[in-house]
Amino acid sequence: MIETYEQAVNYIHSLPRMHKRNDLIDIKNALKKLGNPQNDYPTVHVTGTNGKGSTVNYLANLLEKTDRRVGMFTSPFVIKFNERIQINHQMISDQEIVKLVNEIIEKTQGINLIEFEFVTVMGFLYFRGKVDIAIIEVGIGAEHDKTNVITPILSIITSIGLDHEKIIGPTIQDIAIEKSGIIKPQVPVVCGKLPDSVKLIIQEKAEKEKSGLFELGEDFFVKGFQTKDYRNQFTYWEKLVTIQDIQVFGFEKTDAANAAIAIKAFILIEQMAQTQLSSRFVVQNIDDHQLLGREQIVQNHPLVLMDGAHNIDAVANLINSLNANWPKKDIIVLYTGMKDKDRADILKIIAPKVQSVYVSNLLLSRAAKKEDYDLSEFNNIEFVSDYHAKIDQIISTMTDHQIFLITGSFYLISELESHFKS
């Protein structure tokens, strides 16, 4: 019997991270023993290489303001494990986690759940009887992801790019095939702008399943994008719908793209409910809550930012956006990466566009260590073992002509949240 929150979270983290089998048998069996709670409320299923968390957040903001109770199942967490399971942006309580962990252990005896399966089951179980709709973010991929046990009312693919290639790759086409597994028969799917190399894969899967496909840049659009003072402003446009003067926090155009995806999803959900809300409603509510670890400003003068960008597309977009918005400022980067990420390619993107890069390592088995890097080809990258000391040194000597970016891993962002708050 687990009695405390700490024991419950430690139990969850002690579970294996991977199955030898790449199937959904165990989680389906566990959910069956619990009465299949995932079928008790409507769901929206969200996958994508980047932009999942932001899209989930924007969509939840809109749905909550219609007086719905909205469940959010997301990953990773930044400060506390409870962030992964929320209702109307309120985290699950410590006591509820203890209760659910004991219930799942008791009712699923003999089923060997891995960590993500256990957390997914816990999210589905927590939402039962408490929500009007739940937005479920995949862990990795889609078709074989442990969340793919639902029949949603709507599917979302935010983006398709290179990440987790060893698990769902190696090619972008392989990744697209895996992510297309989120598309269900006659369930509409909203997509971000798809690369030409994979567009046909998604289109053919949607056509096969007789699912309506709505793609950014084809069926709905971001127009008039501009950014000022960490605010993105744009117009959402599709045939018969124009929403002007939308503003969301951030300085990356992908923020506007993710917001547009959420708006299209919201419009479709409202159509299913046979309701319609004004453009003013969307403008007023889409940015009601913001996420930690995404373009997060921890100091204004000089500017210090944290962002959990951890794959090629996310890092490239982040660095390019910084250069576009502050072309006269020198950028200093602190980067930590995992062993399974394309670290060499990421550093090749960063190095030519910034003043200097400091690479460090985290105390995690997955984290890349000094010996995992070859920095000999770079003249502006240095490895530092004590990144806390380096952060303090950089900030103490910065000028207003510099920007300090901390990126590469949400594990790093999580640790530094408390560092900056103190």
What pLDDT is stored for residue 170 in this prediction? 78
| Whether the Cβ atoms of residue 173 and residue 194 lie closer than 8 Å to each other | no
Distance between CA atoms of residues 56 and 47, nearest Å: 10
- Quick one: pLDDT at residue 163? 66
59: nearest Cα among 134, 146, 138: 134
Residue 327 backbone phi and psi in degrees, to 5: -65, -20
Per-residue pLDDT of the chain (422 residues; tens, 9 = 90+): 899 999 999 999 999 988 777 789 999 999 999 999 999 999 999 999 899 999 999 999 999 999 999 999 998 888 899 999 999 999 999 999 999 999 999 999 999 999 999 999 999 999 999 999 999 999 888 888 899 999 999 999 999 887 655 665 578 898 899 999 999 999 999 999 999 999 999 999 999 999 999 999 999 999 999 998 899 999 999 999 999 999 999 999 999 999 999 999 999 999 999 998 899 999 999 999 989 889 999 998 899 999 998 889 899 999 999 999 999 999 999 999 888 777 889 999 999 999 999 999 988 888 889 999 989 999 999 999 999 999 999 999 999 999 999 998 888 898 898 778 76
The pLDDT of residue 169 is 57
CATH architecture of residue range(s) 5-285 = 3-Layer(aba) Sandwich (3.40)
Dihedral angle sign, alpha carbons of residues 252, 253, 254, 258:
positive
Between CA 280 and CA 134 the distance in angstroms is 24
pLDDT of amino acid 343: 86
pLDDT at 243: 97
Strands 402-407 and 330-335: parallel
In 209-342, which ranges are continuous DSSP H helix? 253-272, 279-285, 312-325
CB 317 within 8 A of CB 254: yes
Instruction: Give the three-class secondary structure for 157.
Output: strand
What's the predicted TM-score (pTM) here?
A: 0.94
Contact assessment for residue 267 and residue 275, using Cβ atoms and an 8 Å cutoff: no
159, with CB counted inside 10 A (0-12, 13-18, 19+), is: buried
Max alpha carbon distance in the chain (Å)? 61
Q: What pLDDT is attached to residue 21?
A: 75
Helices (H) and strands (E) in the chain, counts: 14, 17
Q: Where are the alpha helices (DSSP H) in 273-401?
A: 279-285, 312-325, 343-350, 387-397
Domain 296-421: CATH superfamily is Mur ligase, C-terminal domain (3.90.190.20)
Residue that is written with structure tokens 């299949």 in the block: 36
pLDDT given at position 249: 95
Given a contact cutoff of 8 angstroms between Cβ atoms, the answer to whether 125 and 36 are in contact is no
- Residue 410 has a pLDDT of 87
Q: Domain residue spans in the chain?
A: 5-285, 296-421
